Structure 1
Amino acid sequence: MTPQPARPDRTDPRPAESPGSSGNPSYAPFAHLTAPNSALYRDVMKAFLTAKERFAVHLRPEDVHVALPAERRPADPDAVVKALDSLVDWGNLRADPDTSRVTAVEDFYRKRFIYQLTQAGEAAEQALSAYDEALGRRGALQAVALHDIVTQLRALLVIAAEQDEGEPDPAKAHLALSTLTNRFEALAENARAFMGSLQRTIDLHGVGVEVFLAYKDRLIQYLERFIQDLITLGGRIALLIGELEERGRAGALLRLAAAREAADAAPDEAETAEVRAYARWAAKWAGLSAWFVSAEGSESQARLLRGRALGAIPQLLAVVRQLNERRAGRSDRSADFRTLARWFAEAPDDAARHRLWRAAFGLYPARHLTVDADTLADRTARPVAASTPWAEAEPLRISPQLRRTGSYERRGKPRRVQDRSEQRRLLAELAVKQAEEIAAARARLATDGTTRLSALGELDPVAFGLFLRLLGDALATWRPGMTTAVTTSNDGTMEIRLTTLTDGTAAEIRTPAGVFRGPDHLVEITDLTAGIPAREAR
């Protein structure tokens, strides 16, 4: 009789290798996360993943023992064997008889196994890796991704022009669209993760005070730089999207990419593969358009992100101010309550705690309601302990007006009215000065007809700030197919008309703080308050 090798004393794990085959997937490969010694199980599975990257298929128990981290490696190799057996039971690993080192009949009957990852075990580790990566992601505002999106949109315009001439290239269209959507998805996901981590930073959740104060300046500069790129490139991206959507160019490019993907589909799925691929590409394009182009009744995600990033800067500065106030010794209610709680915990007995409570919150007997000079003199002459029962104490005389209205007015001369005429005069002078500066800025920006941005020349800080607000409002109103945007400032005092140029020239506007550069446009700025008295213009 031919001897048969001993089978492992466990359930056959092979059905767990394809948990989705019956339509009811098994989640047993995740059981090691909640079992005792879960850290050892995770280390064992990571050892198998590392070996797979080196194209090693099978591992023996001694190989796994050596591959474990030295600081967490069990001293007894049998602990690794037990962990391997448990992972086999859960379906993470598969055990096969190890007959390569059999030299005698006794070795053939002895339990010797080699282990390898199952499909379910590998899928579970990939899911856990994605989970760990998502938890550790802080995200970033990728200004470089904005430039890449502009580059890919321009490439799609070139491909669309070739298509108009009757020479479409599906490979180029598919590659450009793939790169575009990948960069956009990375931009959107990282922006979401960054704003979430930024809010946690503002709330000082998981961030040390010293660490926050050390990098706050770089964080604010980072936000300001991204906001500037988003203002300048966001409008350009919206314009390029509008050009691609003219005459159905974007839809034609999406169909080219879908047809190229469907070419590799299985024969039984060829009929529906192109339809599904086109629906997938159309959804991605719609998401890209909604991210940068505002629709009627809803703002674009780029504009919402810009507002959120702008709002984060004063919040960061407020946190810095609060931290500096704490360091300077100014009153902080939360710190006071923590100190008071520590005093309560350190009090020797309940009597001391009651005294501390009365001293901290002023919960004295109600006799203080009518404390005046006469009352103090009477209390000095005839002291009354605070523990005196009400029935034995002298009755309090309360004013009928206090009982009726809740307020008590003392007799005597009224307080003198403070003269604030000097403060009002200073405020009036400040308001006049600000109005004059704003009027001068409006007059400086107002153009006599249409001119180029590059012709505006040098601007002072007030005029440059007003110009940036006007430019941001104009760029935010771009719609697909538009070449000219007309908008009015929030206070209704200025109107700007911005028209694109096709010559590719750049504009430079010099300010005391630096040089502002961007693509040149035709601009017409009108001061709507011209001819209105200054007090009415305010």
Structure 2
Amino acid sequence: MTPQPAEPAEPDRTEPAESSVRTEPSGNPAYAPFAHLTAPNSALYRDVMRAFLTAKERFAVHLRPEDVHAALPSEHRPAAPDAVVKALDSLVGWGNLRADPDTSRVTAIEDFYRRRFIYQLTQAGEAAEQALSVYDEALGRRGALQAVALHDIVTQLRALLVIAAEDEPDPAKAHLALSTLTSRFEALAENARAFMGSLQRTIDLHGVEVEVFLAYKDRLIQYLERFIQDLISLGGRIARLIGELEEQGRLGVLLRLAAAREAADAAPDETESAEARAYARWAAKWAGLSAWFVSADGREAQARLLRGRALGAIPQLLAVVRQLNERRAGRSDRSADFRTLARWFAETPDAEARHRLWRAAFGLYPARHLTVDADTLADRAARPVATSTPWAEAEPLRISPQLRRTGSYERRGKPRKVQDRSEQRGQLAEIAAKQAEEIAAARARLATDGTTRLSALRELDPMAFGLFLRLLGDSLATWRPGMTTTVTTSNDGTMEIRLTALTDGSTAEIRTPGGLFRGPDHLVEITDLTPGTPAREAR
């Protein structure tokens, strides 16, 4: 058992309690405002502090005990106001609140000798509640994969390109565009981390109801697939826009303009240092944005890692669904069997029944060559034999003649018929073969005989177009400023793409059943790396 922090003794209410008087059993008075979390009646202390925070939002500084009692939730409100007064005094002792004499309602000399106080939050108490609010918010946060944030990042990067092209960029526009860009990026990164963490807990079924998981698994998989497609198409565009900004050589100017505008309100003697610190912060934010979308030597972009993690989560989710379906179908599951057996043991009426269940479950029978049946056990119960009795003096046990002849006590019946599942296996094999043929056809459709233009692809079916988008996203994610050619392989290692930029400003158009895909034309060489292909053998 962990020791509970003792509640402070009730202060002498003839003098106002000082907010600096704080005691904490651990010996560190700086953390005394958190002592109410582990003290008895911690729920009441939390409700009291929330009442003060709510009052502060309404610009109410002081509260009387009766005001606090009325502000508490009805389901947690003590019947006697004295309990609230005691809680207020304890919080004063810990430094969360400050008590001042209440002289506003004094109408007689006798009232000066009565203990009347008004309470207000201390700086330490308010800081503790803000920290607890952040903790509660982070604990309940699930996060999301924000495809809209990707579109916003593209928009702000384009705005920065326009601002950077001006002879004298507007500091206000530059600062606003950079602030919006970094804000959307930080929200995207933080939500992605929170979502992937909650997704892993879902895959592991930690703190997740099985029925809830089965109900929303399809929507979750569709959600992942949609975000992956957006990340492939927009991630490469973002990487290219970042490269264009860095190639212009005007990025440092924009960052310094934002830093100078941010440091404009600093004290006169701290203007230079404040501007330097602000510039360092903006440079670090831009480096984080670039590292998230652009791969460097020996380091993959975080967007690519996120895409791989999201792609890997889909088969893991399907494996969990398959495992749950197998459990529901009644297949062998040792953990479920042991839980059922434990429930049976708990429901047995007496020790004799528990022994019978133990023997039936684990087969702890006597030697197999001895015929010990229910009659034998009943006879031994009626005429017990001491365990120290020698075998020669004990009553003999009869051996089955069949056991002496065949070596087996029980008659062997007809073996159980094995269910033929060849038809189902054939159907699964047919589906797998069809999918493999479609993927192979898509790779063959994309594979180029040497170097060609993107515009030469002309038209692609959905399977080939999806594979093409993944290849294009992988190649654009490795694009760095100053590069004209990049070479990369797909995540599964079956395709290689070599992409070279053109300077003629031409445009490529690829028609798909879903619409028209348009972008700058490039020289492209796509090679099928699977064994047995002509391109592979030529290499």
2:304/2:474 contact within 8 Å kept: no
1:103 and 2:98 are equivalent in the alignment: no
Greater displacement, 485-494 / 53-62: 485-494
Which residue pairs with 1:21 in the alignment? 25
Rounded Cα–Cα distance in structure 2 between residues aligned with 1:428 and 1:434: 10
Greater displacement, 228-237 / 397-406: 397-406
- Residue 459 of structure 1, CA deviation: 3.3
Residues 149 and 506 (structure 1 numbering): CA distance in 2 closer, same or farther, change over 3 Å?
Answer: farther
Residues 441 and 271 (structure 1 numbering): CA distance in 2 closer, same or farther, change over 3 Å?
Answer: closer
CA displacement 1:93-148 (0-9 Å, x = unmatched): 12222222221111233222222111111111111111111111011111111111
- Residue 46 of structure 1, CA deviation: 0.9
**SS of residue matched to 1:81:** helix
CA displacement 1:65-102 (0-9 Å, x = unmatched): 11111111112122222222222222211222222222
| 1:294-443 matched pairs, under 5 angstroms | 294-347=295-348, 353=354, 355-362=356-363, 440-443=441-444
| 1:210-225 matched pairs, under 5 angstroms | 210-225=211-226
Which residue pairs with 1:278 in the alignment? 279
2:201/2:207 contact within 8 Å kept: yes
| Unaligned residue ranges in structure 2 (runs of 5+) | none
**SS of residue matched to 1:26:** helix
- Residue 487 of structure 1, CA deviation: 3.4
2:36/2:45 contact within 8 Å kept: yes
CA displacement 1:303-331 (0-9 Å, x = unmatched): 11111111111111112222222222222
| Number of equivalenced pairs | 533
2:239/2:477 contact within 8 Å kept: no
Decide which of 69, 76, 79 is 1:72's aligned counterpart.
Answer: 76
- Residue 369 of structure 1, CA deviation: 15
Residues 76 and 218 (structure 1 numbering): CA distance in 2 closer, same or farther, change over 3 Å?
Answer: same
Rounded Cα–Cα distance in structure 2 between residues aligned with 1:406 and 1:521: 80
Rounded Cα–Cα distance in structure 2 between residues aligned with 1:20 and 1:274: 41
1:10/1:89 contact within 8 Å kept: no
Rounded Cα–Cα distance in structure 2 between residues aligned with 1:54 and 1:428: 68
The TM-score normalised by the length of structure 1 is 0.77
- Residue 366 of structure 1, CA deviation: 7.6
Rounded Cα–Cα distance in structure 1 between residues aligned with 2:330 and 2:106: 77
Residues 407 and 30 (structure 1 numbering): CA distance in 2 closer, same or farther, change over 3 Å?
Answer: farther
Rounded Cα–Cα distance in structure 2 between residues aligned with 1:418 and 1:145: 53
- Residue 45 of structure 1, CA deviation: 1.1
CA displacement 1:498-526 (0-9 Å, x = unmatched): 35689999977566788878777664445
Rounded Cα–Cα distance in structure 2 between residues aligned with 1:174 and 1:21: 48
Indicate the percent of aligned positions where both proteins have the same amino acid: 90
Residues 312 and 400 (structure 1 numbering): CA distance in 2 closer, same or farther, change over 3 Å?
Answer: farther
- Residue 480 of structure 1, CA deviation: 2.8
2:23/2:93 contact within 8 Å kept: no
Greater displacement, 358-367 / 230-239: 358-367
Residues 400 and 201 (structure 1 numbering): CA distance in 2 closer, same or farther, change over 3 Å?
Answer: farther
Residues 388 and 498 (structure 1 numbering): CA distance in 2 closer, same or farther, change over 3 Å?
Answer: farther
Residues 380 and 423 (structure 1 numbering): CA distance in 2 closer, same or farther, change over 3 Å?
Answer: farther
2:475/2:488 contact within 8 Å kept: yes
Residues 432 and 401 (structure 1 numbering): CA distance in 2 closer, same or farther, change over 3 Å?
Answer: farther
- Residue 262 of structure 1, CA deviation: 2.2
Residues 411 and 123 (structure 1 numbering): CA distance in 2 closer, same or farther, change over 3 Å?
Answer: closer
- Residue 247 of structure 1, CA deviation: 5.3
Residues 50 and 379 (structure 1 numbering): CA distance in 2 closer, same or farther, change over 3 Å?
Answer: closer
Residues 402 and 250 (structure 1 numbering): CA distance in 2 closer, same or farther, change over 3 Å?
Answer: farther
- Residue 231 of structure 1, CA deviation: 0.9
Residues 444 and 381 (structure 1 numbering): CA distance in 2 closer, same or farther, change over 3 Å?
Answer: farther
1:365/1:386 contact within 8 Å kept: no
Residues 246 and 11 (structure 1 numbering): CA distance in 2 closer, same or farther, change over 3 Å?
Answer: farther
- Residue 414 of structure 1, CA deviation: 20
